[in-house]
Amino acid sequence: MKQFYLTTPLYYPNARPHVGSAYTTIVCDVIARYKRMCGYDVAFLTGTDEHGEKLERAAVAAGLSPRDFVAEKRQLFIELWKKLGIEYSHFVYTDQADHTISVQRMLRRALEYEPSAIYKSRYEGRYCVSDERYISDGAEPANCDICGRPAELISEENYFFRLSAFQDRLLELYEKHPEFVQPDFRRNEVLSFVKGGLRDISVSRRRIKWGIPWPDDPEQVFYVWYDALTGYLTGLGYAQGENGSAEFQKYWRNDSEGEVVHMIGKDILRFHAVYWPAFLMAARMPLPRSVFAHGWIYYEQAKMSKSVGNVVYPEPIIDALDSFGAPGNDALRYYLLRESPFGQDTSFSYDSLIQRFNSDLANDLGNLASRTVAMINRYFGGEVPHPRRELTDTEEMLRSGFFGELKRDGDITIAARPGLISDCRSFFDTLMLDTAVGLVWHLISEINKYLNEKEPWKLAESGREEDRALLTLVLYTAADLIRTITILLYPIIPVSSKRLWKQLGCSGDLADQRLLDLRWEALEPGTQVDKAEPIFPRLDKAAALAKLEELAERDREHDKPKEKKSMESESVKSPSAESRGPSPAAPAPSPQSPAPDAAAGAPKISIEDFAKVEMRVGQIQTAEPVAGAQKLLKLTVDIGSEVRQVVAGIAEHYKPEQLVGMKVVVVTNLQPRKLRGVESNGMIVAASVGPEGKPVLVTFKEEVEVGAKLK
């Protein structure tokens, strides 16, 4: 049996996963199920990437130790994968004890096989904490080219990886194995990046503690990407024994017996398609067969992301649809797979989710299944009929369309033409997932068309023997083909296809069916079908939308106490002002707002501590009330490099129209947080006046440039 090792990225557990972050995991679950049905021995890994500055800071902001913080957040991922029915076989988290051994082992191998690959030097340049990447070797550019956020200036002694020495080897890899980077247009991006010349990269950090210690140099920790990528090995047991566990040997290979595929989002392609193969080459380890970079899920015109504040969570979607008796989980999977070409960006909307459900699942598939099963019940007492007559041309064509044509050549039977099922498998194999799913729906519409043409309900009423015989053939053919479709549907919509399988009275576990063994007349005549209960009840759009909104709102409310708690714990548990930066002036009346006279007794801080707080001139672009929150206003503020959404507790003292155009001071490097369910990414500085703490915004008398830093 061939091995297939599939991985999702290891997610940063800095926040709760949303639909955008769940996307890769759902896609991988579809592929893993498909591969198992093709007879592969599949290992499917997911997990969390728990080190680095970003998480260290998030932990400090939450008043927890990094270890406790990531352990708590990791659980949110595990719970969501459970709710989504993700059948992963391995979960790795980079704070697990044996990961240190893996990472250090990788490095030791590099030092052994290619000693010149690692050297010590001074790093001076900008580092983007949000994306955990070095963006320049000097002070310019100041902003990250991926997320647009201001990057930090760093100067320290680090260990470097001589990436430049791998340029030719990487180009040879892309040349010889075009499948290494997929889709093709991403491969071209990688090629031109590498052809443009590779610079060495710093692979250790001195300033931070939350990471894997560098062997023999405890002052340094590994660069988080070197650490995280190695997680793909740790999850299989790379740290065990001399050369990894038996499982590691079995799955980490790229030969005729097995392959490794990394599924990722396009933003992390460079790490996977350039750094990772180079790290592996240096350590003389097998490379993955391919890295597939998919596009982003957009919502409200921007990449769905916690820091933008435009996230949609899967749980309320599933619960809302489930409450109408519709399979929420499958509906979401189907929608995400089908909506746009796999690999490209796609926009999420509740509207199109419901639209897709009603037209494709309820109408096309649901109607086909329920009318066929209902007719078998009505006309044949629930028993799949024996076809009592020869096939007509229609059935011949339908079957050969599905299964292909066979020809006899002397004693040998050969496939004269592959059928649509085999095309569908090819699309799955080449990860053209939307096309594969679209083709399954084409097959569904072919069976629907067949029933509409043959009108079995009329045949049943005619009372003529020949019509009755034709009826047996038509219903048998339809039921037999629906059985085949159900097998193809399993990786895509596992819950509903199992219900369909049961409704058809099929025996055996659906997941154990083999896609290479599909054939016609696999359904036993005489099989007893179940009642034709609707699996995909049609949704009333207005009612479904209202429910989706209601549960999303309730979900936000439910999140709130936790957030409030973490704010409270921030003010109680945070070890010192140093770790949080100075208390910012009152943005929203919340537990962390300083008391009016707090400044008098505030502990002294050093200039370095003060410098940790980044403040910029921002210009308010829009201002609107936050539903259900009297004191809050939702603002969009241009801070020069980007436009941020900030929630401020000033609604009782400022009118929205008064604020638009006003230049204010924004604390820009605060951890984003939610206020009344609305994301706030930054803080507007205000004086807190009088016993009530009335906020008075800090602004400028002279003309100042938007984005200018305050110091």
- Judged by CB under 6 A, the stretch of 4-12, 234-242, 250-258, 488-496 that binds ligand MSP is 4-12
Residue labelled with tokens 């409030």: 564
- Judged by CB under 6 A, the stretch of 10-18, 156-164, 234-242, 626-634 that binds ligand MSP is 10-18
Residue labelled with tokens 């009108």: 455
Question: Given candidates 5, 12, 40, 335, which one binds ligand MSP under the rule CB under 6 A?
Answer: 12
Q: DSSP string of 478-514?
A: HHHHHHHHHHHHTTTSHHHHHHHHHHTT--S-GGG--
For residue 164, give both structure tokens.
Answer: 């430049």
CB of 434 to ligand MSP, least distance (A): 15
Closest to ligand MSP by CB, 231 vs 649, is: 231
C-alpha 627/C-alpha 678 separation (Å) is 10
Q: Does 296 bind ligand MSP (CB under 6 A)?
A: yes
Q: Does 313 bind ligand MSP (CB under 6 A)?
A: no
C-alpha 271/C-alpha 275 separation (Å) is 5
Q: Does 304 bind ligand MSP (CB under 6 A)?
A: yes
CB of 302 to ligand MSP, least distance (A): 9
Give the count of beta carbons closer than 10 Å to the beta carbon of residue 608.
8
Q: Is 345 in contact with 20 (CB distance < 8 Å)?
A: no
Angle at 633 between CA 632 and CA 636, to 5 degrees: 145
C-alpha 406/C-alpha 421 separation (Å) is 14
Task: Compute CA distances 265 → 11, 131, 326, 461, whole Å.
Answer: 11, 13, 29, 56
Q: Does 11 bind ligand MSP (CB under 6 A)?
A: yes
Q: Does 347 bind ligand MSP (CB under 6 A)?
A: no
CB of 356 to ligand MSP, least distance (A): 18
Question: Given candidates 31, 147, 221, 228, which one binds ligand MSP under the rule CB under 6 A?
Answer: 228
- What sign has the CA pseudo-torsion 660, 663, 668, 674? negative
Closest to ligand MSP by CB, 276 vs 536, is: 276
Q: Does 28 bind ligand MSP (CB under 6 A)?
A: no
Q: Which residues contact 203 (CB under 8 A, 6 or more apart)?
A: 118, 158, 159, 160, 161, 222, 223, 226
Q: Does 234 bind ligand MSP (CB under 6 A)?
A: no
CB of 404 to ligand MSP, least distance (A): 36
CB of 9 to ligand MSP, least distance (A): 4
Task: Compute CA distances 591 → 63, 571, 615, 688, whole Å.
Answer: 14, 7, 22, 14
CB of 480 to ligand MSP, least distance (A): 39
In this chain, which residue has its C-beta nearest to ligand MSP? Answer: 265
Residue labelled with tokens 């690692």: 118
Q: Is 51 in contact with 210 (CB distance < 8 Å)?
A: yes
Question: Given candidates 3, 100, 305, 593, which one binds ligand MSP under the rule CB under 6 A?
Answer: 305
Q: Does 285 bind ligand MSP (CB under 6 A)?
A: no
Q: Exposed, middle or buried, 516 (CB in 10 Å: 0-12/13-18/19+)?
A: exposed
Q: Does 268 bind ligand MSP (CB under 6 A)?
A: yes
CB of 140 to ligand MSP, least distance (A): 25
Closest to ligand MSP by CB, 36 vs 306, is: 306
CB of 21 to ligand MSP, least distance (A): 5
Q: Does 427 bind ligand MSP (CB under 6 A)?
A: no
- Judged by CB under 6 A, the stretch of 114-122, 224-232, 357-365, 640-648 that binds ligand MSP is 224-232
Q: What x-and-dash track marks residues 40-79 binding ligand MSP by CB under 6 A?
A: ---------x------------------------------
Question: Given candidates 55, 201, 261, 264, which one binds ligand MSP under the rule CB under 6 A?
Answer: 264
Q: Is 70 in contact with 13 (CB distance < 8 Å)?
A: yes
CB-based contacts of 249-258 (< 8 A; 24+ apart in sequence)? 250/3, 251/3, 251/5, 251/43, 252/5, 252/285, 252/286, 253/3, 253/286, 254/286, 254/287, 254/288, 254/289, 255/286, 257/2, 257/3, 258/2, 258/3, 258/4, 258/5
Question: Given candidates 3, 5, 10, 133, which one binds ligand MSP under the rule CB under 6 A?
Answer: 10
Q: Does 93 bind ligand MSP (CB under 6 A)?
A: no
Q: Is 43 in contact with 259 (CB distance < 8 Å)?
A: no
Question: Given candidates 60, 118, 144, 297, which one binds ligand MSP under the rule CB under 6 A?
Answer: 297
For 674, list phi and psi in degrees, rounded to 5. -105, 140
Q: What x-and-dash track marks residues 170-209 binding ligand MSP by CB under 6 A?
A: ----------------------------------------
CB of 168 to ligand MSP, least distance (A): 25
- What sign has the CA pseudo-torsion 130, 135, 137, 138? negative
How many residues line the site for ligand MSP (CB under 6 A)?
21
Closest to ligand MSP by CB, 159 vs 279, is: 279
- Judged by CB under 6 A, the stretch of 298-306, 476-484, 513-521, 620-628 that binds ligand MSP is 298-306
C-alpha 673/C-alpha 414 separation (Å) is 63
Q: Does 265 bind ligand MSP (CB under 6 A)?
A: yes
- Judged by CB under 6 A, the stretch of 19-27, 564-572, 575-583, 653-661 that binds ligand MSP is 19-27
For 254, list phi and psi in degrees, rounded to 5. -145, 80
C-alpha 222/C-alpha 209 separation (Å) is 10
Q: Does 210 bind ligand MSP (CB under 6 A)?
A: no
- Judged by CB under 6 A, the stretch of 115-123, 301-309, 360-368, 622-630 that binds ligand MSP is 301-309
C-alpha 658/C-alpha 666 separation (Å) is 18
Residue 47 backbone zone (phi > 0: left; psi -120 to 50: alpha; other: beta)? left
144: helix, strand or coil: coil
Q: Does 86 bind ligand MSP (CB under 6 A)?
A: no
For ligand MSP, the binding residues (CB under 6 A) are: 9-12, 20-21, 23-24, 49, 228-229, 231, 264-265, 267-268, 296-297, 303-305
